[in-house]
Chains A and B, each alone.
Chain A
Amino acid sequence: MPDRRHYGTTAMYLLPFVLLIVSLFVGRYQVSVSLVIDDIMRTITSLFFGTAAPASIQHTVLFSVRMPRILAALLVGSALSTAGVSFQGVFRNPLVSPYILGVGSGAGFGACLGILLYDNHLVIQLLAFIFGLLAMFAAISMGKASKGTGTLVFVLSGIIVSSIFTALISLAKYVADPYDELPEIVFWLMGSLSSIRYSDLIWIIAPMFIGTLVLLLLRWRINILSLGDEEARSLGVNVDKMRLMIIISATLVTSAAVSVSGVIGWVGLVVPHISRMIVGPNYNRLLPMSMVCGASFMLVVDDLARTVAATEIPLGIITSLVGAPVFAYLIKRGRMGWN
């Protein structure tokens, strides 16, 4: 039994790589496998020997259009799920999502500002990232200033911050140009990876890498925090410091993800539950599993987004349409892995 489970887990870790290769071939433009292998070989030789890189349409579709998008989907899915599972442990609540501290609406407002004021791809991303972090710091400082203790004040502060930024998003929509800016805002808020280029990925890799690394290193301690403040303290853990480190790291990866993809719901909530069903609640195994499950889930969703209909479907719509029934099924099975 442990052996079979072990093989299954290993297979899950390979899934993102398999899906990456499969996804290269998914899409409106048909490509043949033998040509792709030839293309890859020629690309590699060009890297090593300085020969001319292939410049076919196929090459452009695979490596300039599909590849950055696939990588973005993997990164964003992994980031949202890692953040979600970490927040769930720290807040001792399996219904918590990465947007608990208002990061989603903060980033959303940042993007709105970017669209209204600058209409520059990179500026929009940067403002989304900054306002995501800003929302978190607002929620944390509000929580710390309050007299209450523990996680509840953070949750309440998150709700307050979130509702302020939601109001500001509405204001931005209200003043936006209805023919030009408004559709862009709406589309951004529903989440999409359709316009991703390598240049967008380069700068989010650093915050994602740092945040994920910290969470990976601290993952066993999340178990201890999930026991509650008093017990964690009696086990010698500096609860406030540890919690802050995890919240900041999780927010860092969430903000980075949201800044390139827009607000994508459900992933950070559903994937941790699926992962918990596969490997159990111990964060030692749960956190890495959430990373690979999230990456795989997001990639499949994005493949659907660009193939199902003639036009691009916003990701947030698919994650909700897929995530909500999956969640309902998990509840019905009573195998949420937490009761």
Chain B
Amino acid sequence: MELILEVESLGYSYGKEPVFENVSFSLRRGEVMCILGPNGSGKSTLIKCIAGIFKPAAGSVRIMGEDTASLGAGNIARRIGYVPQQNEVVFPFTVLDFVVMGRTPHISIFASPGAKDMEIARESLAMVGIADLADRALGSLSGGQRQMALIARALAQQPALLLLDEPTAHLDFGNQVLVLEAVQKLASSGISIVMNTHMPDHAFLVGSRAAALCDRKLLAVDEVAAVVNSEMMSSVYGVNVAVREIKDINRKVCVAMLERFNPHRN
């Protein structure tokens, strides 16, 4: 299958302090890469480097074979959709007005979105299942709906690659599952996805591949099962983690175990 994203020895630093170094991985069409790692390990920064928001200190990012360093912001935005972890929208745009902003890289600088752009925005809303919310104010949406609106805006860019920065953070259990279902659906429609997550178990649910970012470097990039195992996860997060196969639902799960203060232990 076609290579969509190639990240090669990527590095980024704030001032002199490196955030991460020597990160390399690649992604094919329709694959989902879950990036795991503790707080402050640089997952968000990595995503922003790939999105072209931050300029990497070293290495390169190639999207569909072309180096993002020489592509220009508009060309990057037509290929890569970025969904921020949280966004603060100052003015109460309607959901449709907000989603159609994803058309920006396709619209010339002095123009505003036309009927076709509106249609694409509506299709994007339908793809994440919130077509009925088009005329609502963004601020009146629940956390889950808002996340879907953000994803819809990125879809309106019609990207080959979608970058999701912890899309399930701040969401309740049900909404987390809805977001994961959307991720799965988008991947099966041919969009490649890189997604940061705090839940290793999410990699089993939607990931085709997984990476563990820890101590400024990529500890592992591989099939999900090879990365999300008890040794790797325990060392990445510094707590006891167990990975078990549950027969009747036919999948592996990743769960944490509390040890230090377990009152039932003798």
Contact = CB atoms under 8 A, between A and B. Distances in A.
Nearest to A232: B104
B252 interface: no
Given A227-B87, A235-B102, A338-B91, 12 more contacts: A93-B90, A220-B111, A220-B113, A223-B93, A226-B89, A230-B53, A231-B87, A234-B77, A234-B84, A235-B77, A236-B77, A237-B73
A230 B48 contact: yes
Contacts of A339: 92, 139
Interface string B100-111: 011011010111
Nearest to A230: B53
Interface in A243-289: 276, 280-282, 284
Interface of B: 48, 51-53, 73-78, 80-82, 84, 87-94, 97, 101-102, 104-105, 107, 109-113, 139, 157
B91 A337 contact: yes
Contact of A284 (B77, B109, B112, B139): B112
20 contacts: A89-B91, A92-B90, A218-B109, A221-B109, A226-B91, A227-B87, A227-B89, A227-B101, A228-B88, A230-B84, A231-B82, A234-B80, A236-B76, A236-B104, A276-B91, A280-B94, A281-B91, A282-B93, A337-B92, A338-B91
Contacts of B102: 235
B90 A226 contact: yes
Contacts of B52: 233-234
B90 A235 contact: no
Contacts of A227: 87, 89, 101
Nearest to B73: A236
Contacts, number: 82
A290 to B, nearest CB: 13
A94 B94 contact: no
Contacts of A230: 48, 53, 84
Contacts of B75: 236
A224 interface: yes
A57 interface: no
A: contact size bracket: 20 to 34
A214 to B, nearest CB: 9
A252 B9 CA distance: 47
A330 B139 CA distance: 19
B19 to A, nearest CB: 16
A245 to B, nearest CB: 10
A289 to B, nearest CB: 14
A235 B109 contact: no
Nearest to A336: B92
Contacts of A52: none
Contacts of B76: 236
A338 B90 contact: yes
A231 B93 contact: no
B70 to A, nearest CB: 15
A238 interface: yes
Interface string A21-46: 00000000000000000000000000
